């Protein structure tokens, strides 16, 4: 819980005014992750409730994602995506079972 607050404060202080931050977290998640994880592709669907919040963080910290994301997703967008995944992870108060693609 404490790292969530630190991350939120960091976001507000360092990237306030960024149009990406103004967007809803789910919009950034769907636009960025949904660009590859969509119907008709061989890429596996994403479901935030498939993993616990900490597992999502470790997944990206340990570079488990099979494709390099730095050319597709900015650091600010990645923070937003991780926040969304954590907010809707299996161990969250509001897990989201809706996967991309829908």
pLDDT in tens, 73-95: 999 999 999 999 999 999 999 88
* Residue 69 in tokens: 């994301």
Q: Mean pLDDT of all residues in the chain?
A: 81
Which stretch of DSSP H or E encloses residue 3?
A: helix 2-15
- Alpha-carbon distance of 34 to 100, in angstroms, equals 6
Q: Residue 5 has what pLDDT?
A: 52
11-20, 56-65, 66-75: segment of lowest average pLDDT: 11-20
Asked if residues 21 and 11 have their Cβ atoms less than 8 Å apart, the reply is: yes
| pLDDT above 50: residue 46 | yes
Domains identified in the chain, total number: 1
The answer to whether residue 49 sits within a structural domain is yes
* Domain interval for residue 69: 2-87
Asked if residues 76 and 28 have their Cβ atoms less than 8 Å apart, the reply is: no
For residue 65, what are the contacts with CB-CB under 8 A and spacing of at least 6? 59
Q: Residue 66 has what pLDDT?
A: 92
Q: What are the helix and strand counts (H, E) for the chain?
A: 5, 0
Asked if residues 38 and 100 have their Cβ atoms less than 8 Å apart, the reply is: yes
The answer to whether residue 100 sits within a structural domain is no
Query: Taking the model in full, what pTM does it have?
Result: 0.72
Q: Residue 40 has what pLDDT?
A: 81
């Amino acid at each position: 819980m404490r790292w969530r607050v630190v991350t939120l404060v960091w976001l507000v202080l360092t990237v306030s005014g960024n149009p990406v931050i103004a967007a809803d977290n789910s919009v950034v998640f769907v636009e960025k992750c949904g660009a590859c994880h969509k119907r008709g592709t061989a890429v596996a669907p994403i479901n935030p409730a498939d993993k616990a919040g900490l597992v999502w963080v470790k997944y990206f910290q340990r570079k488990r994602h099979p494709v390099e994301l730095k050319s597709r997703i900015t650091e600010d967008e990645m923070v937003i995506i991780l926040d969304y995944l954590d907010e809707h992870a299996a161990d969250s108060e509001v897990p989201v079972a809706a996967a991309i693609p829908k």
